[in-house]
Amino acid sequence: MIDTEKTWDILVVGGGNAALCAALMAREAGCSVLLLEGAPKPFRGGNSRHTRNLRCMHEEPQDILTGAYSEEEYWQDLLKVTGGLTDEHLARLTLKHTSSCRPWMYKHGVRFQPPLGGTLHLSRTNAFFLGGGKALVNAYYHSAERLGIDIHYEAKVSDIEIEGDTFKSAAFTYQGAEYRVRAKAVVIACGGFQANLEWLEEAWGPAAKNFLVRGTPYNRGDILKVLIAKGAKTVSDATQGHCVAIDARSPKYDGGIITRVDAVSLGIVVNKHAQRFYDEGEDFWPKRYAIWGRLVAGQPDQIGYSIVDAKAMGKFMPPVYPPIRANTLRELATKMEIDPDALEKTVAEFNAAVRPGTFDHTIQDDCVTEGLTPPKTHWALKLDTPPYFGYPLRPGITFTYLGVTVDDRSRMVLQDDTVCKNIFAAGEIMAGNVLGKGYLAGIGMSIGTTFGRIAGEAAAHYVRG
Amino acid sequence: MFAAEDQPMSLDELIEDAQRVLRVCNACRYCEGYCAVFPALARRLEFTENDIHYLGNLCHNCGSCLYACQFAPPHEFQVNFPKLMAKVRGQTYRKYAWPGFLGALYEQNGVAVSLITAFSIGLLFLLAGALTNPTAFFTAHSDAQGSFYALMPHNLMAGVFGVVSVFVAIALLMGFLRFWPYMGEDLADFFKPKPLGEATVDALTLKYLDGGGENEGCTYPTEQKSFSRKTCHHLTFYGFMLCFAATSVATFYHYVLKQPAPYPFWSLPVLLGTVGGLGLLIGPAGLLWIKHQRDPEFKVPEQAGMDAGFLVLLFMISLTGLLLLAFREAAAMGTLLAVHLGFVLALFLTMPYGKFVHGMYRLAALVRFHLERRRPVPGLAPE
């Protein structure tokens, strides 16, 4: 049973990393905390379940982090991917926070490990969670239970009652009944809306029908919608999110990291008309994979096909679905249901444009095409060694950036720039303040941890003085 | 593609399901820090049946990866790695058992172990009582009268266990000799000192029940890490080794020092046996208890008999052994002796066809892991 008679000190809406950080901080400060997670227990934790690391600023090597990653370098990386769509004050707050938050995480049961196979390029910048994001979420829930935070699953918050700049109560459904609960402050940390296909369609048009939702199916953005309707000042826009090209055979929801296809830079990518549409060798795959969701979204029927030949096999992380395989390009085209003549022509033109070079997939090599549009500027090798392999690609949306504006106490800001007294937002629902567009591996957890902790502390301070 | 059925599978179905799950794990790799299994699987792009037996026996069933798995049931990918590996091990034991037809004993292992136990105890009653001296069987004998040997001549006892031991040793060795080359390894490589040494240390310290290097125990029987399993297993294993040492010392006393049993309580064989026996009481009882407590999603019902059979045997051997020590001059000695030796004989007989073999295949898999990690990894994508 959920105690709806009493007025809680803090209500936390959501049950992912940011929500848990806020709840733990508030509880540590002595508040009574009610946490309502909309998902069933096995799927608790939102998109945090799918994460694996925290992007950390550090001035010198730390336990599992090599070298140094200065505030300035981190800031420049962020500036580059967002193209300036970031609030510098909040961004720098986040970066600094990541240099000191890990002992607290450790105290609550989070363990770190050296980078995983295939992720050595992140050994300097990203601290990996032992066992990944679900292990982190499990650790926080355990700690929260131990500290006496009242946690309920499948408790879906449907409305937030706001008077002026002040939170009053929240309505929620639980086990088929509707309730209303009062709290002295609320922390809203229930994610974005990537699983809300109707909303995606409003933003992206009919193309959104063909998107796969790589993240949790429980982020439907219901509360985000309520907050916007009640005058919250928005940040970023509804078309911004982390959208990568994933295997078209993946489930509609919740496929997570394993749906990725890392073969793109080693071959060519064609659309349903068997035409290439972008430079596959522009940069190393880890630096480019985040743009391919949008690229595929821009193609007819939102589908693409990554094609490699036998030479590429073993040079990329093995995808979860076996490739479509054939001994000729014609046969491969037929199996992928694209025009065999058109594919042969595209490959013939590509092969003819490939200039001799020294192939090395570990550096930006000199294997390029000449006189081809679009060009392939690295790792261009003729597709001539059967068997040929194909991976069908679809846009896979992991999370969205449209959110509510906050200040540096994580307090929600209204359209007239009023700062709410006791409404705090943390995690994906406000991540757009720092990451308005683009993507930087591990920064989602950095934002969630930073603003979750700030929100919990600030909310507790508001309640207890 | 993704629909694991939760029922006993044939070896082929099991291998197919394992290939599906291993592809998921290989594309994810979040669990790499937990144990040797995940780095070992990350070396491969495809998984043959050999690979699956290898990984299955490398898995210590600590449970961490299932708790951490974002694709665990009820997720549609239905990834339950530890349970799958437990099923694979069951098939490994069966497939490599020697002689092959006795592998069928793994099918209803609990029943098989029980029947063999009943048979062994019956046989010992016949040997110790009926065949030698029925009236003496229910009479008290003092130590001065030679205690056990008053009922059963030493040579008979040593003869029965000697023959059985030789058979057991051969059967176990044959199992290993079938398994090791099947993994694609040369026999000589098994004896390379460094990998063998590292694997032995891993096995003796139960390194992979350490929660991923933080020395916090493992997620067994529940999600909260504890040393329950490590402690109980250590008590069992080292208790067993102490009892083995007790027997060896006694054999030395008997043949070399010409001092036949029974030995006084403060003698080395009795002390070793008593301390080891206590370990063998607490350890297996604890293992049985935490196995019972374990989260149900890990349990493989068709293998419960195998696990329990082995642990109950160890427990009963110890219990009857200690009782025998306490009452060896009482009239109950004959009965206790027959029951105790019956359990011991049953353990011996079922060693190659019961849970005991897990240690052998685990060690072999660990040796292979340490051999393999010194070899170059096939090149993957640029970092």
Name residues whose C-beta falls within 8 Å of residue A294's C-beta, 6 or more positions apart in sequence: A243, A395
The structure's pTM equals: 0.94
pLDDT band at A189; cut points 50, 70, 90: very high
| H-run or E-run covering A371 | none
The residue among A430, A432, A434 whose CA lies nearest residue A455 is A430
Confirm or reject contact between B23 and chain A (CB < 8 A).
Answer: yes
Mutate one of B21, B69, B70, B297 to test the A interface: name it (highest A CB count within 10 A). B70
Helix (H, G, I), strand (E, B) or coil at B35: coil
Task: Please name the residues between 318 and 357 in chain A that touch chain B, using a CB distance below 8 Å.
Answer: 318-322
pLDDT band at A59; cut points 50, 70, 90: very high
| H-run or E-run covering A324 | strand A324-326
Please give the single-letter amino acid code of residue B158. A
Beta strands A166-174 and A155-163 are antiparallel
Among partner residues A121, A249, A319, which is closest to B27 by beta-carbon distance? A319
Radius of gyration of the CA atoms of chain B, in A: 23
Q: Angle at Cα B230 formed by Cα B225 and Cα B234, nearest 5°?
A: 165
pLDDT of residue B149: 79
Bridge partners of A187, per DSSP, are: A12, A424
- With CA atoms as reference, the chain B residue closest to A106 would be B214
CB contact under 8 A, A114 and B27: no
CB contact under 8 A, B29 and A133: no
Whether the pLDDT of residue A352 is over 90: the answer is yes
With beta carbons under 8 A apart, name residues in chain B contacting A119: 383
Helices within A83-191 (DSSP H only):
88-98, 102-107, 133-146
With beta carbons under 8 A apart, name residues in chain A contacting B68: 131-132, 134-135, 138
What do you get for the CA distance between the two ends of chain A, in Å? 30
Among partner residues B31, B212, B379, which is closest to A111 by beta-carbon distance? B212
pLDDT of residue B128: 79
Q: Say if residues A165 and A414 touch (Cβ distance below 8 Å).
A: yes
- With CA atoms as reference, the chain B residue closest to A286 would be B383
With beta carbons under 8 A apart, name residues in chain B contacting A130: 33-34, 212, 214
Among partner residues B30, B65, B382, which is closest to A52 by beta-carbon distance? B30
Cα–Cα dist B186/A325, whole Å: 34
Let me know if A335 is exposed, middle or buried by CB neighbors in 10 A (0-12, 13-18, 19+).
Answer: middle
The residue among A147, A260, A248 whose CA lies nearest residue B26 is A260
The helix, strand and coil proportions of chain B, stated in percent and rounded to the nearest 5, come to: 70, 0, 30
Task: Please name the residues between 156 and 215 in chain A that touch chain B, using a CB distance below 8 Å.
Answer: none
pLDDT of residue A208: 94
Please say whether the dihedral angle defined by the alpha carbons of residues B192, B194, B200 and B203, taken in this order, is positive or negative: negative
CB contact under 8 A, B70 and A134: yes
- With CA atoms as reference, the chain B residue closest to A364 would be B382
Cα–Cα dist B280/B239, whole Å: 5
Confirm or reject contact between A442 and chain B (CB < 8 A).
Answer: no
Please say whether the dihedral angle defined by the alpha carbons of residues A349, A353, A354 and A356, taken in this order, is positive or negative: positive
The tokens of B333 are what? 């000695």
Cα–Cα dist A358/A340, whole Å: 30
Mutate one of A64, A116, A125 to test the B interface: name it (highest B CB count within 10 A). A116
The tokens of B78 are what? 């239905």
CB contact under 8 A, A43 and B223: no
- Count CB neighbours of B12 within 10 A: 9
* Beta-carbon contacts below 8 Å between A and B: 119
pLDDT band at A317; cut points 50, 70, 90: confident
Cα–Cα dist B68/B84, whole Å: 16
Tell me the CB-side half-sphere exposure of residue A457, using CA atoms within 13 A.
9
- With CA atoms as reference, the chain B residue closest to A261 would be B27
Cα–Cα dist A257/A185, whole Å: 35
With beta carbons under 8 A apart, name residues in chain B contacting A50: 70
Confirm or reject contact between B24 and chain A (CB < 8 A).
Answer: yes
Q: DSSP readout, A328-358? A: SHHHHHHHHTS-HHHHHHHHHHHHHHBPP--
Beta strands A53-55 and A7-13 are unpaired
Query: How large is the average pLDDT for residues A427-440?
Result: 96
- A289-310 per-position pLDDT tens digit: 889 999 999 999 999 999 999 9
DSSP, res B261: S
Query: How large is the average pLDDT for residues A126-148?
Result: 97
pLDDT of residue B3: 43
- A376-399 per-position pLDDT tens digit: 999 999 999 999 999 999 999 999
Confirm or reject contact between A109 and chain B (CB < 8 A).
Answer: no
Confirm or reject contact between B186 and chain A (CB < 8 A).
Answer: no
pLDDT of residue B4: 47
Confirm or reject contact between B138 and chain A (CB < 8 A).
Answer: no
Q: Which residue has tokens 């199996």?
A: A335
The helix, strand and coil proportions of chain A, stated in percent and rounded to the nearest 5, come to: 35, 25, 40
Bridge partners of A325, per DSSP, are: A389
Block means of pLDDT (10 residues each) for chain B, 383 residues, are 58 94 94 94 92 98 96 96 97 95 92 92 84 76 77 85 95 96 95 98 95 86 95 98 95 91 91 97 98 95 94 96 92 90 95 97 98 79 36
Cα–Cα dist A317/A306, whole Å: 14
- A325-342 per-position pLDDT tens digit: 999 999 999 999 999 999
Q: Which residue has tokens 């005991």?
A: B356
Q: B357 vs chain A: nearest CA distance in angstroms?
A: 30
The tokens of B212 are what? 């991923």
Q: B13 vs chain A: nearest CA distance in angstroms?
A: 18
Q: DSSP readout, A146-180? A: HTT-EEESSEEEEEEEEETTEEEEEEEEETTEEEE
Confirm or reject contact between B72 and chain A (CB < 8 A).
Answer: yes
Confirm or reject contact between A41 and chain B (CB < 8 A).
Answer: no
Please determine, for the modelled complex, whether the ipTM score is greater than 0.90: yes
- With CA atoms as reference, the chain B residue closest to A256 would be B70
Please say whether the dihedral angle defined by the alpha carbons of residues A150, A5, A185 and A461, taken in this order, is positive or negative: negative
CB contact under 8 A, B383 and A135: no
CB contact under 8 A, A131 and B224: no
pLDDT band at A322; cut points 50, 70, 90: very high
Helix (H, G, I), strand (E, B) or coil at B71: coil
With beta carbons under 8 A apart, name residues in chain B contacting A258: 24, 27-28, 71, 77
* Residue A188 φ then ψ, to 5°: -100, 115
Name residues whose C-beta falls within 8 Å of residue A25's C-beta, 6 or more positions apart in sequence: A452, A453, A455, A456, A457, A460
Confirm or reject contact between A254 and chain B (CB < 8 A).
Answer: yes
pLDDT of residue B352: 96
